[in-house]
């Protein structure tokens, strides 16, 4: 559990949630592993209350499952759940692209280009963490510029389910998403081509649905 570290005593519930979620997504807490509020509270330097609140949120989001008075454990990686999450997240990214592309400025496009350069470098170096961070940074530009808070919240809720499978597949020797697809998306954004940006975004997320099927 290398990603579980003490957190400052501000926004304790959210910080506990983020720390535990990130450990689950990274595989530091493996699928099927039991989690205990007292143990994690001690590791995080918190009381049990914010950890219990974090557990409730993670159960709601599908990363934990719980049986009262019995267990709380990390859910298995289920291909169908990942496929469903990818379809929903992809639809939200398509919506964000449709709204954001006409609003993008040159600086926004340059942020996307820089993120894709980091992405490609990370993929070449086999650095999955850096690749996924750069991928998030690239797509987050469109989400941010779109200004759609509901889309952003939906993406934040369901993306961790997808990331777990991505990390697992990359660890088995799979490939990261194509930097070439990102380049096509960036060029569409730079040209103000909404239809192409939405089309490429859909292609990217269909690839993740295929990942869930083992393609």
Q: Mind listing the pLDDT tens digit for each residue in 106-140? A: 999 999 999 999 999 988 888 888 888 999 999 99
**pLDDT score of 29:** 94
pLDDT band at 35 (very low <50, low <70, confident <90, very high): very high
Separation of first and last alpha carbons in the chain: 30
| Count of other CB atoms within 10 angstroms of residue 5 | 11
Query: How many angstroms separate the CA atoms of 194 and 116, rounded?
Result: 19
Tokens of residue 83, six digits: 């496929």
pLDDT band at 93 (very low <50, low <70, confident <90, very high): very high
184-203 pLDDT, tens digit per residue, is 999 999 999 999 999 999 99
CB-based contacts of 184, cutoff 8 Å, min separation 6:
196, 200
| Count of other CB atoms within 10 angstroms of residue 124 | 11
Are 196 and 188 spatial neighbours (Cβ–Cβ below 8 Å)? yes
- Collapse the DSSP code of 51 into the 3-class scheme (helix H, G, I; strand E, B; otherwise coil) and give the result: helix
Tell me the whole-structure pTM to 2 decimals.
0.84
Nearest to 122 by CA among 167, 189, 184, 187: 167
| Count of other CB atoms within 10 angstroms of residue 142 | 26
Query: How many angstroms separate the CA atoms of 145 and 192, rounded?
Result: 14
**pLDDT score of 10:** 55
**pLDDT score of 178:** 77
Could you tell me which residue, 172 or 6, shows the higher pLDDT?
6
């Amino acid at each position: 559990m290398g990603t579980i570290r003490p957190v400052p005593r501000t926004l304790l519930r959210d910080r506990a949630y983020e720390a535990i979620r990130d450990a689950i997504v990274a595989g530091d807490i493996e699928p099927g592993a039991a989690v205990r509020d007292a143990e994690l509270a001690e590791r995080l330097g918190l009381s049990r209350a914010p950890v219990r609140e974090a557990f409730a949120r993670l159960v709601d989001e599908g990363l934990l499952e719980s049986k009262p008075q019995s267990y709380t454990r990390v859910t298995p990686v289920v291909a169908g759940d990942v496929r469903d999450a990818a379809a929903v997240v992809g639809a939200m990214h398509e919506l964000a692209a449709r709204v954001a592309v006409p609003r993008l400025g040159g600086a926004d496009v340059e942020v996307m280009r820089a993120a894709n350069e980091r992405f490609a470098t990370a993929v070449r170096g086999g650095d999955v963490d850096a690749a996924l961070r750069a991928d998030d940074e690239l797509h987050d530009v469109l989400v941010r510029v779109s200004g759609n808070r509901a889309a952003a919240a939906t993406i934040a809720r369901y993306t961790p389910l997808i990331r777990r499978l991505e990390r697992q597949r990359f660890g088995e020797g799979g490939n990261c998403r194509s930097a070439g697809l990102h380049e096509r998306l960036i060029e569409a954004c730079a040209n103000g081509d909404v239809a192409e940006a939405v089309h490429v975004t859909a292609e990217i997320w269909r690839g993740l649905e295929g990942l869930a099927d083992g393609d």
